[in-house]
Structure 1
Amino acid sequence: MKLTAEQLGWSVHGRTLLEDVFLDVAPGQTFGLIGPNGSGKTTLLRLLAGLNKPKKGHVRIDGQPLAKMRQRHIAQSVALVEQQAETTDRIYVREVVALGRTPFLSALRPWSTHDDAIVDQALDDVDMTHMAGRLWHTLSGGERQRVHIARALAQQPKILLLDEPTNHLDIRHQLSILELVRQLPITVVISLHDLNQAMECDRIGVMDGGRLIASGQPHDVLTAQRLQETFGVHAHVLDDPIDGKRIMRFRSAI
Protein backbone atom coordinates (compact mmCIF):
# COMPACT_ATOMS: atom_id res chain seq x y z
CA MET A 1 0.00 0.00 0.00
CA LYS A 2 1.13 3.54 -0.75
CA LEU A 3 1.27 5.93 2.20
CA THR A 4 1.07 9.68 1.65
CA ALA A 5 1.04 12.72 3.92
CA GLU A 6 0.08 16.08 2.47
CA GLN A 7 0.91 19.36 4.23
CA LEU A 8 0.50 17.64 7.59
CA GLY A 9 0.33 19.80 10.70
CA TRP A 10 -0.25 19.20 14.40
CA SER A 11 -0.30 21.50 17.43
CA VAL A 12 -1.13 21.26 21.14
CA HIS A 13 -2.26 24.27 23.22
CA GLY A 14 -1.07 26.63 20.52
CA ARG A 15 2.36 25.02 20.27
CA THR A 16 3.21 23.69 16.81
CA LEU A 17 4.74 20.20 16.93
CA LEU A 18 4.48 19.36 13.24
CA GLU A 19 4.28 21.70 10.27
CA ASP A 20 3.83 21.26 6.49
CA VAL A 21 5.06 17.67 6.31
CA PHE A 22 4.89 16.04 2.89
CA LEU A 23 5.66 12.33 2.75
CA ASP A 24 5.32 9.77 -0.02
CA VAL A 25 6.21 6.14 0.72
CA ALA A 26 5.84 3.66 -2.15
CA PRO A 27 4.30 0.20 -1.66
CA GLY A 28 6.80 -2.25 -0.18
CA GLN A 29 9.33 0.47 0.64
CA THR A 30 11.12 0.83 3.99
CA PHE A 31 11.31 4.51 4.92
CA GLY A 32 13.50 5.51 7.88
CA LEU A 33 12.73 8.55 10.03
CA ILE A 34 15.63 10.16 11.83
CA GLY A 35 16.03 13.35 13.82
CA PRO A 36 16.91 14.72 17.27
CA ASN A 37 14.68 14.10 20.26
CA GLY A 38 11.58 16.28 20.06
CA SER A 39 11.84 16.74 16.29
CA GLY A 40 8.35 15.35 15.64
CA LYS A 41 8.97 11.71 14.67
CA THR A 42 6.54 10.21 17.18
CA THR A 43 3.88 12.82 16.43
CA LEU A 44 4.14 12.07 12.71
CA LEU A 45 3.83 8.31 13.24
CA ARG A 46 0.72 8.73 15.38
CA LEU A 47 -0.88 10.87 12.67
CA LEU A 48 0.03 8.32 10.00
CA ALA A 49 -1.57 5.60 12.14
CA GLY A 50 -4.78 7.57 12.55
CA LEU A 51 -4.44 7.76 16.36
CA ASN A 52 -4.45 11.55 16.16
CA LYS A 53 -6.30 13.65 13.60
CA PRO A 54 -4.14 16.28 11.91
CA LYS A 55 -4.96 19.92 12.55
CA LYS A 56 -3.95 20.54 8.96
CA GLY A 57 -3.44 18.42 5.88
CA HIS A 58 -4.31 14.80 5.09
CA VAL A 59 -3.00 11.26 5.35
CA ARG A 60 -3.88 8.96 2.46
CA ILE A 61 -3.60 5.20 1.97
CA ASP A 62 -3.58 4.22 -1.69
CA GLY A 63 -5.11 7.63 -2.39
CA GLN A 64 -7.98 7.21 0.08
CA PRO A 65 -8.16 9.80 2.90
CA LEU A 66 -7.49 8.14 6.24
CA ALA A 67 -10.10 10.44 7.85
CA LYS A 68 -12.83 8.84 5.73
CA MET A 69 -11.88 5.24 6.48
CA ARG A 70 -13.63 3.19 9.15
CA GLN A 71 -11.48 2.49 12.21
CA ARG A 72 -11.81 -1.24 11.69
CA HIS A 73 -10.55 -0.93 8.11
CA ILE A 74 -7.60 1.16 9.28
CA ALA A 75 -6.75 -1.45 11.93
CA GLN A 76 -6.83 -4.16 9.27
CA SER A 77 -4.34 -2.20 7.15
CA VAL A 78 -2.05 -0.28 9.53
CA ALA A 79 -0.17 -1.38 12.64
CA LEU A 80 1.83 0.90 14.96
CA VAL A 81 4.48 -0.18 17.45
CA GLU A 82 4.89 2.66 19.93
CA GLN A 83 7.85 3.28 22.23
CA GLN A 84 5.73 2.84 25.35
CA ALA A 85 2.49 0.85 25.58
CA GLU A 86 2.04 -0.37 29.12
CA THR A 87 -0.80 -2.16 30.90
CA THR A 88 -1.58 -3.00 34.51
CA ASP A 89 -3.84 -5.88 33.51
CA ARG A 90 -2.87 -9.42 34.47
CA ILE A 91 -2.23 -10.66 30.94
CA TYR A 92 -0.03 -13.31 29.38
CA VAL A 93 2.39 -12.80 26.51
CA ARG A 94 0.37 -14.93 24.10
CA GLU A 95 -2.77 -12.93 24.95
CA VAL A 96 -0.96 -9.67 24.16
CA VAL A 97 0.08 -10.97 20.74
CA ALA A 98 -3.42 -12.35 20.09
CA LEU A 99 -4.79 -8.80 20.42
CA GLY A 100 -3.34 -8.21 16.96
CA ARG A 101 -6.09 -10.40 15.53
CA THR A 102 -8.91 -8.31 17.05
CA PRO A 103 -9.68 -6.23 13.90
CA PHE A 104 -10.47 -9.42 12.00
CA LEU A 105 -12.81 -11.03 14.53
CA SER A 106 -16.58 -10.71 14.66
CA ALA A 107 -19.69 -12.72 15.50
CA LEU A 108 -19.55 -14.13 11.99
CA ARG A 109 -15.79 -14.64 12.08
CA PRO A 110 -14.79 -16.07 15.51
CA TRP A 111 -11.30 -17.11 16.58
CA SER A 112 -9.97 -20.07 14.59
CA THR A 113 -6.93 -22.30 14.22
CA HIS A 114 -5.80 -19.89 11.47
CA ASP A 115 -5.49 -17.15 14.10
CA ASP A 116 -3.57 -19.53 16.38
CA ALA A 117 -1.10 -20.20 13.56
CA ILE A 118 -0.60 -16.48 12.92
CA VAL A 119 0.06 -15.81 16.62
CA ASP A 120 2.49 -18.76 16.77
CA GLN A 121 4.42 -17.41 13.79
CA ALA A 122 4.56 -13.88 15.21
CA LEU A 123 5.96 -15.16 18.51
CA ASP A 124 8.55 -17.23 16.66
CA ASP A 125 9.55 -14.27 14.46
CA VAL A 126 10.59 -12.24 17.52
CA ASP A 127 12.08 -15.18 19.46
CA MET A 128 9.41 -15.13 22.17
CA THR A 129 7.74 -18.53 21.73
CA HIS A 130 9.41 -19.83 24.90
CA MET A 131 7.85 -16.95 26.88
CA ALA A 132 4.28 -17.25 25.55
CA GLY A 133 3.04 -18.35 28.97
CA ARG A 134 4.79 -15.59 30.93
CA LEU A 135 2.88 -12.75 32.58
CA TRP A 136 3.44 -9.33 31.03
CA HIS A 137 4.64 -7.64 34.23
CA THR A 138 7.48 -10.18 34.61
CA LEU A 139 9.11 -9.21 31.31
CA SER A 140 12.11 -6.93 30.85
CA GLY A 141 11.83 -3.79 28.73
CA GLY A 142 13.44 -5.50 25.74
CA GLU A 143 11.17 -8.53 26.03
CA ARG A 144 8.11 -6.30 26.14
CA GLN A 145 9.30 -4.51 23.02
CA ARG A 146 9.57 -7.79 21.17
CA VAL A 147 6.04 -8.73 22.26
CA HIS A 148 4.73 -5.39 20.95
CA ILE A 149 6.34 -6.12 17.60
CA ALA A 150 4.85 -9.63 17.60
CA ARG A 151 1.40 -8.16 18.24
CA ALA A 152 1.83 -5.89 15.23
CA LEU A 153 3.00 -8.81 13.08
CA ALA A 154 -0.06 -10.82 14.15
CA GLN A 155 -2.15 -7.97 12.78
CA GLN A 156 -0.69 -8.77 9.33
CA PRO A 157 -0.75 -5.11 8.27
CA LYS A 158 -0.15 -3.74 4.81
CA ILE A 159 1.60 -0.76 6.44
CA LEU A 160 3.81 -1.13 9.52
CA LEU A 161 4.83 1.92 11.58
CA LEU A 162 7.57 1.49 14.17
CA ASP A 163 8.68 4.12 16.69
CA GLU A 164 12.28 3.32 17.68
CA PRO A 165 11.63 -0.44 17.85
CA THR A 166 15.21 -1.29 18.78
CA ASN A 167 15.03 0.64 22.07
CA HIS A 168 15.85 -1.65 25.03
CA LEU A 169 16.89 -4.52 22.75
CA ASP A 170 20.28 -6.20 22.98
CA ILE A 171 22.38 -6.10 19.83
CA ARG A 172 21.42 -9.62 18.70
CA HIS A 173 17.72 -8.87 18.82
CA GLN A 174 18.22 -5.41 17.29
CA LEU A 175 19.80 -7.01 14.24
CA SER A 176 17.25 -9.82 13.97
CA ILE A 177 14.25 -7.48 14.27
CA LEU A 178 15.64 -5.06 11.69
CA GLU A 179 16.41 -7.91 9.29
CA LEU A 180 12.87 -9.26 9.78
CA VAL A 181 11.39 -5.82 9.04
CA ARG A 182 13.49 -5.45 5.88
CA GLN A 183 12.23 -8.80 4.59
CA LEU A 184 8.54 -8.04 5.09
CA PRO A 185 6.73 -7.50 1.74
CA ILE A 186 4.87 -4.47 3.10
CA THR A 187 5.26 -0.71 3.42
CA VAL A 188 7.30 0.26 6.50
CA VAL A 189 7.98 3.59 8.19
CA ILE A 190 10.50 3.19 11.00
CA SER A 191 11.87 5.78 13.39
CA LEU A 192 15.51 5.14 14.31
CA HIS A 193 18.19 6.76 16.46
CA ASP A 194 21.06 4.69 15.08
CA LEU A 195 22.09 6.38 11.83
CA ASN A 196 24.02 3.33 10.65
CA GLN A 197 20.82 1.31 10.96
CA ALA A 198 19.01 4.01 9.01
CA MET A 199 21.54 3.58 6.19
CA GLU A 200 19.93 0.18 5.51
CA CYS A 201 16.53 1.73 4.66
CA ASP A 202 15.38 2.23 1.06
CA ARG A 203 14.85 5.94 1.74
CA ILE A 204 15.13 8.14 4.81
CA GLY A 205 13.69 11.42 6.00
CA VAL A 206 15.22 13.89 8.44
CA MET A 207 12.92 15.55 10.97
CA ASP A 208 13.97 18.78 12.70
CA GLY A 209 11.80 21.28 14.54
CA GLY A 210 8.59 19.59 13.45
CA ARG A 211 9.48 19.71 9.75
CA LEU A 212 10.66 17.08 7.31
CA ILE A 213 13.73 18.94 6.11
CA ALA A 214 15.14 16.31 3.75
CA SER A 215 14.25 12.94 2.25
CA GLY A 216 15.79 10.63 -0.30
CA GLN A 217 18.43 7.94 -0.65
CA PRO A 218 20.44 7.52 2.59
CA HIS A 219 23.79 8.42 1.00
CA ASP A 220 22.28 11.58 -0.48
CA VAL A 221 20.57 12.69 2.73
CA LEU A 222 23.17 11.83 5.37
CA THR A 223 25.80 14.31 4.32
CA ALA A 224 28.48 15.59 6.68
CA GLN A 225 27.01 19.10 6.55
CA ARG A 226 23.45 17.97 7.37
CA LEU A 227 24.63 15.76 10.23
CA GLN A 228 26.54 18.66 11.72
CA GLU A 229 23.64 21.10 11.32
CA THR A 230 20.91 18.75 12.58
CA PHE A 231 22.68 16.53 15.11
CA GLY A 232 25.70 18.62 16.06
CA VAL A 233 28.22 15.91 15.15
CA HIS A 234 31.11 15.51 12.75
CA ALA A 235 30.72 12.38 10.61
CA HIS A 236 33.21 10.31 8.68
CA VAL A 237 31.96 7.75 6.15
CA LEU A 238 33.94 4.53 5.87
CA ASP A 239 33.63 1.36 3.81
CA ASP A 240 33.17 -1.81 5.83
CA PRO A 241 36.11 -4.09 4.91
CA ILE A 242 33.90 -7.18 5.25
CA ASP A 243 30.91 -6.39 3.03
CA GLY A 244 31.77 -3.01 1.52
CA LYS A 245 28.74 -1.27 3.06
CA ARG A 246 29.05 2.37 4.07
CA ILE A 247 29.26 2.99 7.80
CA MET A 248 29.62 6.22 9.74
CA ARG A 249 31.72 7.21 12.70
CA PHE A 250 30.90 10.29 14.75
CA ARG A 251 32.49 12.78 17.09
CA SER A 252 30.95 15.75 18.80
CA ALA A 253 31.02 19.06 16.94
CA ILE A 254 31.21 20.93 20.25
Structure 2
Amino acid sequence: MNLSAENLSWRVHGHTLLENVSLAVASGQTFGLVGPNGSGKTTLLRLLAGLGKPKTGRVLLGGTPLARMRQRHIAQSIALVEQQAETTDRIQVRQVVALGRTPFLSALRAWAKEDDAIVDQALVDVDMAHMAGRLWHTLSGGERQRVHIARALAQQPKILLLDEPTNHLDIRHQLSILELVRQLPITVIITLHDLNQAMTCDRLGIMDGGQLVGVGKPGEVLTPTRLQQTFGVQAELLAGDNGEQVMRFYHA
Protein backbone atom coordinates (compact mmCIF):
# COMPACT_ATOMS: atom_id res chain seq x y z
CA MET A 1 0.00 0.00 0.00
CA ASN A 2 1.30 3.46 -0.87
CA LEU A 3 1.44 6.48 1.44
CA SER A 4 1.82 10.09 0.40
CA ALA A 5 1.89 13.57 1.87
CA GLU A 6 0.90 16.82 0.18
CA ASN A 7 2.23 20.17 1.39
CA LEU A 8 2.35 19.25 5.08
CA SER A 9 3.07 22.02 7.56
CA TRP A 10 3.10 21.85 11.36
CA ARG A 11 3.59 24.61 13.90
CA VAL A 12 3.76 24.64 17.69
CA HIS A 13 3.39 27.93 19.60
CA GLY A 14 4.24 29.84 16.44
CA HIS A 15 7.36 27.76 15.78
CA THR A 16 7.40 25.97 12.41
CA LEU A 17 8.50 22.32 12.69
CA LEU A 18 7.47 21.30 9.16
CA GLU A 19 6.99 23.46 6.10
CA ASN A 20 5.33 22.35 2.84
CA VAL A 21 6.60 18.76 2.91
CA SER A 22 5.42 16.55 0.07
CA LEU A 23 6.49 12.98 -0.63
CA ALA A 24 5.18 9.74 -2.09
CA VAL A 25 6.25 6.27 -0.93
CA ALA A 26 5.35 3.43 -3.25
CA SER A 27 3.91 0.12 -2.11
CA GLY A 28 6.59 -2.28 -0.90
CA GLN A 29 9.30 0.38 -0.80
CA THR A 30 11.69 1.04 2.09
CA PHE A 31 11.96 4.81 2.40
CA GLY A 32 14.53 6.29 4.77
CA LEU A 33 14.34 9.70 6.44
CA VAL A 34 17.60 11.28 7.55
CA GLY A 35 18.57 14.68 8.88
CA PRO A 36 20.07 16.45 11.89
CA ASN A 37 18.36 16.46 15.28
CA GLY A 38 15.37 18.80 15.21
CA SER A 39 15.02 18.68 11.43
CA GLY A 40 11.40 17.44 11.59
CA LYS A 41 11.76 13.70 11.01
CA THR A 42 9.76 12.59 14.04
CA THR A 43 7.07 15.22 13.48
CA LEU A 44 6.66 14.09 9.87
CA LEU A 45 6.48 10.43 10.89
CA ARG A 46 3.73 11.13 13.45
CA LEU A 47 1.66 13.04 10.90
CA LEU A 48 2.07 10.18 8.41
CA ALA A 49 0.73 7.86 11.12
CA GLY A 50 -2.34 10.05 11.62
CA LEU A 51 -1.27 11.21 15.10
CA GLY A 52 -2.05 14.86 14.66
CA LYS A 53 -3.78 17.11 12.19
CA PRO A 54 -1.42 19.12 9.98
CA LYS A 55 -1.83 22.88 9.89
CA THR A 56 -1.81 22.67 6.11
CA GLY A 57 -1.78 19.80 3.64
CA ARG A 58 -2.93 16.22 3.96
CA VAL A 59 -1.76 12.61 4.19
CA LEU A 60 -3.23 9.97 1.89
CA LEU A 61 -3.29 6.22 2.51
CA GLY A 62 -3.82 4.34 -0.71
CA GLY A 63 -5.29 7.53 -2.15
CA THR A 64 -7.73 8.12 0.74
CA PRO A 65 -7.10 11.13 3.04
CA LEU A 66 -6.39 10.05 6.62
CA ALA A 67 -8.68 12.86 7.79
CA ARG A 68 -11.64 10.92 6.39
CA MET A 69 -10.70 7.67 8.13
CA ARG A 70 -11.43 6.46 11.65
CA GLN A 71 -8.35 5.93 13.83
CA ARG A 72 -9.21 2.23 14.18
CA HIS A 73 -9.14 1.77 10.41
CA ILE A 74 -5.85 3.67 10.13
CA ALA A 75 -4.37 1.39 12.82
CA GLN A 76 -5.38 -1.66 10.79
CA SER A 77 -3.04 -0.49 8.02
CA ILE A 78 -0.34 1.64 9.68
CA ALA A 79 1.86 0.76 12.67
CA LEU A 80 4.23 3.26 14.29
CA VAL A 81 7.23 2.43 16.45
CA GLU A 82 8.19 5.56 18.36
CA GLN A 83 11.52 6.23 20.04
CA GLN A 84 10.03 6.27 23.54
CA ALA A 85 6.86 4.71 24.93
CA GLU A 86 6.72 4.21 28.66
CA THR A 87 4.20 2.78 31.11
CA THR A 88 4.04 2.45 34.88
CA ASP A 89 1.70 -0.53 34.67
CA ARG A 90 2.97 -3.94 35.79
CA ILE A 91 2.62 -5.46 32.36
CA GLN A 92 4.41 -8.44 30.85
CA VAL A 93 6.28 -8.43 27.55
CA ARG A 94 3.74 -10.69 25.87
CA GLN A 95 0.90 -8.42 26.97
CA VAL A 96 2.67 -5.43 25.40
CA VAL A 97 3.04 -7.25 22.09
CA ALA A 98 -0.58 -8.43 22.24
CA LEU A 99 -1.66 -4.77 22.18
CA GLY A 100 -0.78 -4.85 18.50
CA ARG A 101 -3.90 -6.93 17.89
CA THR A 102 -6.24 -4.32 19.46
CA PRO A 103 -7.36 -2.68 16.17
CA PHE A 104 -8.75 -6.01 15.00
CA LEU A 105 -10.72 -6.91 18.12
CA SER A 106 -14.33 -5.94 18.75
CA ALA A 107 -17.55 -7.19 20.29
CA LEU A 108 -17.99 -9.28 17.15
CA ARG A 109 -14.38 -10.42 16.92
CA ALA A 110 -12.91 -11.82 20.15
CA TRP A 111 -9.32 -12.90 20.77
CA ALA A 112 -8.57 -16.16 18.92
CA LYS A 113 -5.82 -18.74 18.51
CA GLU A 114 -4.76 -16.87 15.37
CA ASP A 115 -3.92 -13.86 17.53
CA ASP A 116 -1.81 -16.01 19.85
CA ALA A 117 0.14 -17.34 16.86
CA ILE A 118 0.73 -13.83 15.50
CA VAL A 119 2.01 -12.58 18.86
CA ASP A 120 4.25 -15.63 19.28
CA GLN A 121 5.80 -15.10 15.85
CA ALA A 122 6.38 -11.40 16.47
CA LEU A 123 8.30 -12.24 19.66
CA VAL A 124 10.42 -14.77 17.77
CA ASP A 125 11.15 -12.26 14.99
CA VAL A 126 12.75 -9.79 17.42
CA ASP A 127 14.47 -12.46 19.55
CA MET A 128 12.31 -11.81 22.63
CA ALA A 129 10.32 -15.05 22.91
CA HIS A 130 12.46 -16.15 25.85
CA MET A 131 11.42 -12.97 27.72
CA ALA A 132 7.68 -13.18 27.04
CA GLY A 133 6.90 -13.47 30.76
CA ARG A 134 9.23 -10.69 31.93
CA LEU A 135 7.78 -7.50 33.39
CA TRP A 136 8.20 -4.37 31.29
CA HIS A 137 9.98 -2.34 33.97
CA THR A 138 12.74 -4.97 34.28
CA LEU A 139 13.83 -4.62 30.64
CA SER A 140 16.79 -2.67 29.31
CA GLY A 141 16.31 0.13 26.80
CA GLY A 142 17.32 -2.13 23.92
CA GLU A 143 14.98 -4.90 25.03
CA ARG A 144 12.10 -2.44 25.26
CA GLN A 145 12.83 -1.24 21.74
CA ARG A 146 12.62 -4.80 20.42
CA VAL A 147 9.30 -5.29 22.23
CA HIS A 148 7.95 -2.10 20.60
CA ILE A 149 8.90 -3.48 17.21
CA ALA A 150 7.28 -6.83 18.03
CA ARG A 151 4.06 -5.02 18.99
CA ALA A 152 4.08 -3.29 15.61
CA LEU A 153 4.72 -6.58 13.81
CA ALA A 154 1.80 -8.16 15.67
CA GLN A 155 -0.35 -5.42 14.19
CA GLN A 156 0.45 -6.93 10.76
CA PRO A 157 0.47 -3.51 9.12
CA LYS A 158 0.56 -2.76 5.42
CA ILE A 159 2.77 0.24 6.25
CA LEU A 160 5.36 0.24 9.05
CA LEU A 161 6.74 3.53 10.38
CA LEU A 162 9.87 3.31 12.53
CA ASP A 163 11.45 6.23 14.38
CA GLU A 164 15.13 5.49 15.07
CA PRO A 165 14.48 1.76 15.68
CA THR A 166 18.15 0.96 16.25
CA ASN A 167 18.50 3.37 19.18
CA HIS A 168 19.66 1.56 22.34
CA LEU A 169 20.30 -1.69 20.43
CA ASP A 170 23.66 -3.45 20.42
CA ILE A 171 25.23 -3.96 17.00
CA ARG A 172 24.00 -7.57 16.66
CA HIS A 173 20.37 -6.61 17.21
CA GLN A 174 20.75 -3.49 15.05
CA LEU A 175 21.75 -5.69 12.14
CA SER A 176 19.07 -8.31 12.79
CA ILE A 177 16.26 -5.73 13.12
CA LEU A 178 17.30 -3.90 9.95
CA GLU A 179 17.52 -7.20 8.06
CA LEU A 180 14.06 -8.17 9.33
CA VAL A 181 12.66 -4.83 8.18
CA ARG A 182 14.24 -5.24 4.73
CA GLN A 183 12.61 -8.65 4.32
CA LEU A 184 9.08 -7.52 5.23
CA PRO A 185 6.76 -7.54 2.18
CA ILE A 186 5.26 -4.19 3.17
CA THR A 187 5.88 -0.46 2.82
CA VAL A 188 8.42 0.85 5.35
CA ILE A 189 9.31 4.42 6.30
CA ILE A 190 12.22 4.58 8.72
CA THR A 191 14.14 7.46 10.32
CA LEU A 192 17.84 6.81 10.85
CA HIS A 193 20.86 8.67 12.19
CA ASP A 194 23.40 6.23 10.77
CA LEU A 195 23.87 7.27 7.13
CA ASN A 196 25.58 3.98 6.28
CA GLN A 197 22.46 2.14 7.46
CA ALA A 198 20.40 4.58 5.40
CA MET A 199 22.36 3.60 2.28
CA THR A 200 20.47 0.27 2.25
CA CYS A 201 17.07 1.95 1.76
CA ASP A 202 15.40 2.00 -1.65
CA ARG A 203 14.99 5.78 -1.48
CA LEU A 204 15.91 8.52 0.98
CA GLY A 205 14.39 11.81 2.03
CA ILE A 206 16.70 14.38 3.62
CA MET A 207 15.16 16.71 6.21
CA ASP A 208 16.70 20.04 7.16
CA GLY A 209 15.04 22.84 9.10
CA GLY A 210 11.57 21.33 8.75
CA GLN A 211 11.85 21.00 4.98
CA LEU A 212 12.41 18.03 2.70
CA VAL A 213 15.52 19.19 0.85
CA GLY A 214 16.27 16.05 -1.15
CA VAL A 215 14.54 12.86 -2.29
CA GLY A 216 15.97 10.02 -4.36
CA LYS A 217 18.20 6.99 -4.32
CA PRO A 218 20.77 7.09 -1.50
CA GLY A 219 23.76 7.57 -3.80
CA GLU A 220 21.98 10.38 -5.62
CA VAL A 221 21.00 12.49 -2.60
CA LEU A 222 23.86 11.87 -0.16
CA THR A 223 26.25 13.96 -2.20
CA PRO A 224 29.36 15.66 -0.77
CA THR A 225 27.66 19.03 -1.16
CA ARG A 226 24.48 17.93 0.62
CA LEU A 227 26.41 16.21 3.41
CA GLN A 228 28.37 19.39 4.05
CA GLN A 229 25.34 21.70 3.85
CA THR A 230 22.96 19.61 5.97
CA PHE A 231 25.21 17.61 8.28
CA GLY A 232 28.35 19.75 8.39
CA VAL A 233 30.66 16.89 7.43
CA GLN A 234 32.78 15.80 4.52
CA ALA A 235 32.62 12.21 3.30
CA GLU A 236 34.17 9.80 0.86
CA LEU A 237 32.50 6.73 -0.59
CA LEU A 238 34.38 3.46 -0.17
CA ALA A 239 33.74 -0.07 -1.43
CA GLY A 240 33.04 -2.51 1.42
CA ASP A 241 34.18 -6.12 1.55
CA ASN A 242 30.76 -7.35 0.41
CA GLY A 243 30.56 -4.91 -2.49
CA GLU A 244 28.28 -2.45 -0.71
CA GLN A 245 29.23 1.22 -0.62
CA VAL A 246 30.32 2.62 2.75
CA MET A 247 30.82 6.27 3.69
CA ARG A 248 33.68 7.56 5.81
CA PHE A 249 33.14 10.94 7.43
CA TYR A 250 35.42 13.85 8.33
CA HIS A 251 34.89 17.24 9.95
CA ALA A 252 33.96 19.82 7.34
Q: TM-score range by the shorter chain?
A: over 0.9
1:244 equivalent in structure 2: 243
**Structure 1 gap ranges (5+):** none
In structure 1, how many angstroms separate the alpha carbons of the residues matched to 2:83 and 2:250?
Answer: 27
| Partner-residue secondary structure (3-state), 2:121 | helix
| Partner-residue secondary structure (3-state), 1:119 | helix
| Partner-residue secondary structure (3-state), 2:76 | helix
Tell me whether 1:164 sits opposite 2:157 in the alignment. Answer: no
In structure 1, how many angstroms separate the alpha carbons of the residues matched to 2:185 and 2:52?
Answer: 26
Instruction: Find runs of 4+ consecutive structure 1 residues off by over 6 angstroms.
Output: none
1:216 equivalent in structure 2: 216
Q: What's the CA shift string for 1:111-138, capped at 9, x where partnerless?
A: 0100000000000000000000000000
Alignment of 1:150-189 (within 5 A): 150-189=150-189
In structure 2, how many angstroms separate the alpha carbons of the residues matched to 1:71 and 1:24?
Answer: 21
1:15 equivalent in structure 2: 15
| Partner-residue secondary structure (3-state), 1:238 | strand
Alignment of 1:57-68 (within 5 A): 57-68=57-68
In structure 1, how many angstroms separate the alpha carbons of the residues matched to 2:84 and 2:196?
Answer: 23
Alignment of 1:24-63 (within 5 A): 24-63=24-63
In structure 2, how many angstroms separate the alpha carbons of the residues matched to 1:96 and 1:244?
Answer: 39
Instruction: In structure 1, give the amino acid aligned to 2:33.
Output: L
In structure 1, how many angstroms separate the alpha carbons of the residues matched to 2:92 and 2:53?
Answer: 32
Instruction: In structure 2, give the amino acid aligned to 1:26.
Output: A
Q: What's the CA shift string for 1:189-242, capped at 9, x where partnerless?
A: 0000000000000000000000000000000000111001100011010011x2
Alignment of 1:128-139 (within 5 A): 128-139=128-139
1:5 equivalent in structure 2: 5
Q: What's the CA shift string for 1:120-164, capped at 9, x where partnerless?
A: 000000000000000000000000000000000000000000000
**Structure 2 gap ranges (5+):** none
Alignment of 1:95-110 (within 5 A): 95-110=95-110
Instruction: In structure 2, give the amino acid aligned to 1:208.
Output: D
In structure 1, how many angstroms separate the alpha carbons of the residues matched to 2:250 and 2:200?
Answer: 21
**1:107: how far off?**
1.2
Identical aligned pairs, as a percentage?
A: 78
Alignment of 1:105-120 (within 5 A): 105-120=105-120
CA RMSD of aligned residues (A): 0.4
Number of residue equivalences: 252
**1:243: how far off?**
1.4
**1:35: how far off?**
0.0
Alignment of 1:132-147 (within 5 A): 132-147=132-147
